[in-house]
Amino acid sequence: MKILGISAHYHDSAAALLVDGVPVCAVQEERLSRHKHDSSFPIGAIEWCLGRAALAPSDLDAVVFYERSMLKFERILTCALRAFPHSWRSFPQAIKNSLGEKVWIRGIISSQLGVPGNKVFFTDHHAAHAAVAFFTAPTRRAAILTADGVGEWATLTIGHGERRPDGRSDITLLREIRYPHSLGMLYSTFTAYLGFAVNEDEYKVMGLAAYGRATMSDKVRRLIRRTSDGAFVIVPDYFEYHTTARQSYSSRFIDLFGPARNPYDPIDLESPEGRRYADCAASVQQVLEETLVDITRGLHRETGLADLCFGGGVALNGVANARILAESGFERVFVPSAPGDAGCALGAALYTDRLYFQQPDREVPDHAFWGPTVDARELAHAAREDGQAVEELDESALIERIADELITGRIVGWMDGASEFGPRALGHRSILAAPHARDIRDRLNRDIKHREEFRPFAPVTTMESADRFFELPAGGARLARFMSGVFPVRPEWRERLAAVTHVDGSARVQVLERDMAPRLYALLEEYGRRTGVPVLLNTSFNVAGEPIVNHALEGYLTFRRCGIDVLVAGPTLVMKRVAGPGKSLKEAVA
Ligand SMILES: [Fe+2]
């Protein structure tokens, strides 16, 4: 059975293809269109998926859209007309039976792809979040939590999933919290208030929080009241996101927290205003964490299960995830590589396969590499045409050479195999550097990423070495598989891992198993043999404002116009002729 999943029209559109219950490929539209956070109908991603599997649209058994557009329309309409319901609501029991409602999106999909309307299906938005979180996790039974800004009506759901011994699967969503009561919207409101881009820069709030003290937590708690049934309601007077698209916070919010930050003003953490912003970020972060910990504690008590699968955009908050692992009672927490809306393309396909068509359970490979594959010959060709020094090395020589370059302080653009599905670079489209030197971090910020100094870079290390450098609780390495948890760097290593240690001593570490990315694993081993520290700085291979590179040519063009010194794909290594450690290409040319 061949099922195409689609997410689109809100944020980070994507397509994913499932053949006989197993993912074949998945990619975000932005990686192909090169428009960051592209939310348009993902025709490029769909064409690529079908081409990759050598399928025509007529070969598809089903095309599934990741939310019910009519319900979303109803929510938008209703919100414009009246006040809101409160607190938990029963999850609609008819969910599995109502797949396939007639809404306008069916016509778009049908006409764009040329598939008959009766092959177009719909899942609930949070069912898609839940499905990608549960079915990609190596667990047979787990509690499920989803949390985001909003889907149709739901903003948070709790439930559980099971792969049954007879091969059937089930996902039961027990309860939901409905718009406008939303943890994601609460956090996004502070994202906007602090002068960052909503739905893009929430991670900057998390990064900024480490510089502040949660002195305004009580004020934040005035905005979100816990209810006796374990849910929460937001206090509408402080918000405007439910009444207007113009602004998400109200004048009362400003009265409580002070003037909002102008997005064009730099954040000076030495100034009282800068510290207020950091304290504000720390405060909303703390309230988010304590709310999630409380909800997951309740979910653990209710289900008695050892595992939790967590999906939705809120699951990108690695600091909160680490606290859930430490304090909820769950032994393992699984966050997929794409917990946000892009991942819903895969989730919608999985949900439809397992629950609607009741196909037998199939193991989903435990990695994130579902995108286009890099072509080393394309890199060699482009670099030679451009007059750059190109070398072709066998595997061991290449690994040794890259380790040498990293030790010398060079910054390496690293492309390997298929690209990641989701927002993190997990070792296939990464910029790598030595983890010890602050000047390397500053050079990356200045010459490549062009970004705020308060944002930390992340480390990657091997499973075997992770405990030596990082304070990982039981289950921490699993959460770190897709960089979904933030954990303390051991105090004795913070100085030697200065480029990847955040101001509060933490790091969003990736813990790598050999099977997942053997080449990067070999490089970490080689680097470790020479330096005693098998840890590298690992940041996504892109410059500010652009999506992560996908094909070799995009990697090469990025390499040519920023401070990356060395570029690798397959056996091909390109050295920037004029660059050296400490210099950008621009400086070297000048
Ligand atoms: Fe979502």
Taking the whole predicted model, whether its pTM rises above 0.75 is answered as yes
Identify the pLDDT of residue 93. Answer: 39
How many whole angstroms from 166 Cα to the centroid of ligand 1?
31
Say if residues 580 and 564 touch (Cβ distance below 8 Å). Answer: no
Identify the pLDDT of residue 105. Answer: 76
Identify the pLDDT of residue 580. Answer: 45
pLDDT tens-digit series, residues 140-194 = 999 999 999 988 889 999 999 999 999 999 999 999 999 989 999 999 999 999 9
Q: Is 91 left (phi over 0), alpha (psi -120 to 50) or beta?
A: beta
Ranges of the chain whose pLDDT falls below 70 = 69-103, 242-246, 452-454, 578-590
How many whole angstroms from 127 Cα to the centroid of ligand 1?
10
How many whole angstroms from 243 Cα to the centroid of ligand 1?
20
How many whole angstroms from 156 Cα to the centroid of ligand 1?
9
Residues 6+ apart with CB under 8 A from 273: 261
Identify the pLDDT of residue 545. Answer: 86
How many whole angstroms from 269 Cα to the centroid of ligand 1?
32
How many whole angstroms from 196 Cα to the centroid of ligand 1?
19
How many whole angstroms from 80 Cα to the centroid of ligand 1?
21
Helix (H) or strand (E) holding 51: helix 43-52
Identify the pLDDT of residue 245. Answer: 62
How many whole angstroms from 486 Cα to the centroid of ligand 1?
22
Identify the pLDDT of residue 450. Answer: 76
Identify the pLDDT of residue 442. Answer: 85
How many whole angstroms from 129 Cα to the centroid of ligand 1?
7
How many whole angstroms from 390 Cα to the centroid of ligand 1?
43
Identify the pLDDT of residue 406. Answer: 97
How many whole angstroms from 178 Cα to the centroid of ligand 1?
13
How many whole angstroms from 526 Cα to the centroid of ligand 1?
40
Output the six-digit token pair for 396. Answer: 């061991």
How many whole angstroms from 128 Cα to the centroid of ligand 1?
9
Output the six-digit token pair for 328. Answer: 């909820």
Residues 6+ apart with CB under 8 A from 423: 316, 338, 340, 342, 540
How many whole angstroms from 423 Cα to the centroid of ligand 1?
14
Identify the pLDDT of residue 367. Answer: 97
DSSP letter string, 445-512: IIIII---TTSPPEEEEETTTHHHHB-PPTTHHHHTTTT---EEBPGGGTTTTGGG--TTSEE--EEE
How many whole angstroms from 26 Cα to the centroid of ligand 1?
17
pLDDT tens-digit series, residues 247-265 = 789 999 999 999 999 999 9
How many whole angstroms from 12 Cα to the centroid of ligand 1?
10
- Closest to 205 (Cα-Cα) out of 340, 314, 290: 314
